[in-house]
């Protein structure tokens, strides 16, 4: 009888632990799904997926970095970087917290500012939960090895396609 009670207690503990694991995994999946939704409506795909600006986004390299840079007069050319968790060319060495900080403050882990074209000032209005959901989603992507060109300073010659931000007449 005593052995039966012990086995029942062990089975009950295993069941509770199993449910906790399922709940944690389910919560993380829900958070990642929320992040995917937010990335979609924020248009991250536009600037960070190869082929997007040519009308043929390469979804096999989704968020893997753009071959088209934005030229900003006086500042240079900036390409949308690889947002996948590739450790060499993407965000693989960034923690979830570091991604959240970059989204909300415009600061990279090394202290540098994100490119001026990145709308972090708008993303600073995200709730901490939403910014975290985006970071969790980005960390869940398959890694894409794609080193984007640049950045290029105002006197450097870009090596890839460039979109120019050109002032209108009278704004020079």
Q: What is the pLDDT of residue 23?
A: 60
3-state secondary structure 8-70: HHHHHHHHHHHHHHHHHHHHHHHHHHHHHHHHHHHCHHHHHCCCHHHCCCCHHHCCCCCCEEE
In a domain, 119, yes or no: yes
Instruction: Give domain status of residue 19, yes or no.
Output: no
Q: Do 140 and 62 form a contact (C-beta atoms < 8 A)?
A: no
Return the higher-pLDDT residue of 124 and 168: 124
Would the pTM count as exceeding 0.75? yes
114: containing domain: 44-164
The answer to whether residue 10 is domain-embedded is no
Q: Is pLDDT at 158 greater than 60 in this prediction? A: yes
**Rounded-to-integer distance, Cα 92 and Cα 16, Å:** 33
Kindly state whether residue 79 falls inside one of the protein's structural domains: yes
For residue 63, tell me if it sits in a domain.
yes
CB distance 130 to 34 below 8 Å: yes
Q: What percent of the chain has a predicted confidence (pLDDT) above 70? A: 84
Give me the pLDDT at residue 171, please.
62
50 domain residue, yes or no: yes
**Per-residue model confidence (pLDDT) at position 161:** 92
Q: What is the DSSP code (8-state) at residue 124?
A: T
pLDDT single digits (tens) 25-66: 677 788 889 999 999 999 999 999 999 999 999 999 999 999
Q: Is residue 28 situated within a structural domain?
A: no
Region 127-149: what's the mean pLDDT? 96
85 inside domain: yes
Task: State the total domains in the chain.
Answer: 1
Task: Look over the chain and give the mean of its residue pLDDT values, rounded to a whole number.
Answer: 87
């Amino acid at each position: 009888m005593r052995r039966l009670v012990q086995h029942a207690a062990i089975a009950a503990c295993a069941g509770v632990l199993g449910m906790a694991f399922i709940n944690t995994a389910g919560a993380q999946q829900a958070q990642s799904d929320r992040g995917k939704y937010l990335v979609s409506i924020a248009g991250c795909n536009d600037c960070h997926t190869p082929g997007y600006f040519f009308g043929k986004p390469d979804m096999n390299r989704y968020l893997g970095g753009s071959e088209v840079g934005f030229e900003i007069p006086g500042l240079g050319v900036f390409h949308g970087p690889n947002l996948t968790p590739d450790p060499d060319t993407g965000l693989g060495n960034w923690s979830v917290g570091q991604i959240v900080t970059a989204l909300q403050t415009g600061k990279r882990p090394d202290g540098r500012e994100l490119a001026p074209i990145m709308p972090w000032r708008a993303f600073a209005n995200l709730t901490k939960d939403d910014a975290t959901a985006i970071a969790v989603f980005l960390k869940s992507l398959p890694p894409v090895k794609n080193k984007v060109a640049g950045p290029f300073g105002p006197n450097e010659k870009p090596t890839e396609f460039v979109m120019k931000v050109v002032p209108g007449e009278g704004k020079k």
